């Protein structure tokens, strides 16, 4: 009940207004202005994607899950942009679920943003598909990787006819690869509900259970490999290795 009120229309307005004043939101994460490769701006998923494009000279972008082209897709500065979303209102280039898109097309990309169906199984499949289509030196970014409460990590979006903020169980798809893929580098930046970054590299695979929300809440920093925006800017100031 508490989260329903906090995530209601006025609760959200209050939280966001306060967040803008102190440049930090306990749910959303860092909202401060930082020096990204494309200029000084407030931290967000869009700022992080555009930073990766600018630093790495990426030329092709795929967005899985669009909702409205104006909310993110049109803010991404890349030569070639492709969108996938089965909802006709999204006006995506490919108006089909991501599984169908990957089954029918073999386009390759420098950068993929995963923000479609918010279930762990689907995000794991989207990640595996995106990895198989990634050009050398490419990266995959994911939204909603750091749900702050059990309420935000609920299974379904709708709550009594309303749609309060929702991260779903997307994080579980990311966690599945944290537990088995030593050949990847995986991190989550603490802004905009957690922006995941995955690319060929290396990592100490996560040894804990990492299955339930309690597991996440108990060991969030290690399970997600959570980093600050400041650390992101230090780690990703030069292009990724194209030889991996």
Ligand X SMILES: C[S@@+](CC[C@H](N)C(=O)[O-])C[C@H]1O[C@@H](n2cnc3c(N)ncnc32)[C@H](O)[C@@H]1O
Contact range with ligand X by CB under 6 A, out of 13-21, 66-74, 177-185, 230-238: 66-74
Residue keyed to tokens 């209102």: 89
Q: Give Cα separations from 95 to 84, 91, 113, 143, 210 (angstroms).
A: 6, 7, 16, 20, 33
Q: Interface with ligand X includes 209 (CB under 6 A)?
A: no
Q: Give Cα separations from 77 to 28, 40, 50, 100, 239 (angstroms).
A: 24, 16, 6, 26, 17
Contact range with ligand X by CB under 6 A, out of 17-25, 28-36, 90-98, 179-187: 90-98
Q: Interface with ligand X includes 192 (CB under 6 A)?
A: no
Q: Interface with ligand X includes 112 (CB under 6 A)?
A: no
Name beta bridge partners: 36: 39
Q: Interface with ligand X includes 170 (CB under 6 A)?
A: no
Name beta bridge partners: 162: 159
Exactly one of 7, 25, 30, 115 binds ligand X (CB under 6 A); that residue is 115
Q: Interface with ligand X includes 97 (CB under 6 A)?
A: yes
d(CA 175, CA 158): 24
Residues comprising the chain, all counted:
244
Closest CA to 229 of 19, 47, 27: 47
Q: Interface with ligand X includes 90 (CB under 6 A)?
A: yes
The contact pattern for ligand X, residues 6-45, with x = CB under 6 A and - = no contact, is ----------------------------------------
Exactly one of 3, 43, 65, 178 binds ligand X (CB under 6 A); that residue is 65
The radius of gyration computed from the CA coordinates of the chain, to the nearest angstrom, equals: 17
Minimum separation from the CB atom of position 206 to ligand X (A): 26
Is the Cβ–Cβ distance between 225 and 187 less than 8 Å? yes
Interface residue list for ligand X (CB under 6 A): 63-67, 71-72, 84-87, 90, 97-98, 115-117, 122, 143
């Amino acid at each position: 009940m508490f989260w329903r009120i906090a995530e209601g229309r006025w609760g959200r307005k209050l939280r966001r207004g306060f967040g803008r004043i102190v440049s930090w939101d306990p749910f959303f994460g860092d909202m401060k202005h930082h020096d990204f490769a494309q200029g000084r701006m407030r931290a967000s998923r869009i700022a992080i994607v555009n930073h990766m494009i600018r630093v790495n000279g990426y030329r092709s972008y795929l967005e899985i899950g669009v909702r409205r082209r104006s909310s993110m897709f049109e803010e991404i500065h890349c030569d070639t942009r492709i969108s996938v979303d089965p909802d006709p209102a999204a006006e995506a280039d490919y108006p089909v679920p991501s599984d169908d898109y990957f089954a029918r097309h073999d386009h390759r990309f420098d950068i993929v943003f995963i923000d479609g169906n918010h279930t762990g199984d689907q995000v794991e499949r989207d990640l595996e598909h995106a990895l198989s289509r990634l050009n050398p030196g490419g990266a995959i970014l994911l939204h909603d990787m750091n749900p702050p409460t059990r309420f935000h990590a609920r299974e379904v979006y709708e709550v009594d006819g309303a749609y309060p903020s929702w991260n779903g169980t997307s994080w579980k798809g990311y966690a599945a690869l944290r537990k088995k893929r030593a050949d990847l580098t995986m991190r989550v930046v603490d802004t905009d509900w957690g922006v995941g970054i995955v690319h060929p590299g290396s990592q100490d695979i996560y040894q804990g259970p990492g299955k339930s929300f309690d597991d996440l809440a108990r060991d969030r920093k290690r399970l997600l490999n959570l980093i600050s925006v400041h650390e992101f800017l230090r780690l990703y100031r030069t292009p990724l290795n194209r030889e991996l």
